[in-house]
Amino acid sequence: MKHLFKLDPAKQLPNLAVQRLAQSGTDGFIIGGSDGLEMGAVQDLFRTVASLGLPVFIEVSDEAMIVPGASDYLSPMVLNSTDVTWLIGAHHEIVKQYGSFIPWPHVQTEGYCILNPEAKAAQLAKANTDLSADDVAAYASIAENMLRLPIFYVEYSGTFGDSRMVQAARDELVNTKLWYGGGIRTVAQAREMSEIADVIVVGNILYEDFEQALETVSAVR
């Protein structure tokens, strides 16, 4: 798996466009967002995308994202959050409330390192984005060696990131997969990050320049 499109339930794409995404050569979809989340919209989007035959990950960042039926759920832990809610607090509440319904074999925890201070996720999670490459490397090492997470996610949502930060994470990771997301708008950017990360995630450009978003797949094929 090298390329994923991230679909925001609070934004609309015509059904035909979603079908074109499925035929683009992408490896699958993440349904995720930071605000304006409503369960009805999540369910509608999930139904549309699930019928396409590619893997669909639901990123559970809010109770509205707890939609049954997905094959995989992503559980974000913001490793550089300064608010315990985003590290483990919200997870504790959800497991306490829904624990017996959670399909654990289908849950993958993502260790997020959010690096764009302007990103909604950075603000919500009160992330400390003032990090050096050594700081990022240390978070990646914690994900790999202490928490043994399946995924370490370098997140620059809304802006294209500094590849040195991504490389610093890469150098620490063996078993933990490195995902990169943020500001990928061109094939060249997609290629630059896919040469370092295991998986690149393409989000906002879908809603700004759909054809350009489709093109990003060619960077990994």
H or E element in which residue 208 lies: helix 205-208
Closer of 110 and 172 to ligand 1GP (Cβ):
110
Closer of 19 and 186 to ligand 1GP (Cβ):
186
Closer of 155 and 172 to ligand 1GP (Cβ):
155
Closer of 75 and 145 to ligand 1GP (Cβ):
75
Q: How far is the CB of 156 from ligand 1GP (least distance, A)?
A: 7
Place of tokens 């679909």: 7
Cα 30 to Cα 183: distance, rounded to the nearest angstrom: 16
Cα 15 to Cα 45: distance, rounded to the nearest angstrom: 10
Q: How far is the CB of 30 from ligand 1GP (least distance, A)?
A: 8
Structure tokens at 45: 């989007």
**What HEC string does 11-26 produce?**
CCCCHHHHHHHHCCCC
Cα 152 to Cα 180: distance, rounded to the nearest angstrom: 9
Give residues in contact with ligand 1GP (CB under 6 A).
6, 155, 157-158, 181-184, 201-205
Q: How far is the CB of 39 from ligand 1GP (least distance, A)?
A: 20
The residue whose Cβ lies closest to ligand 1GP is 181
Nearest to 206 by CA among 1, 44, 24: 24
Closer of 49 and 184 to ligand 1GP (Cβ):
184
Q: How far is the CB of 10 from ligand 1GP (least distance, A)?
A: 13
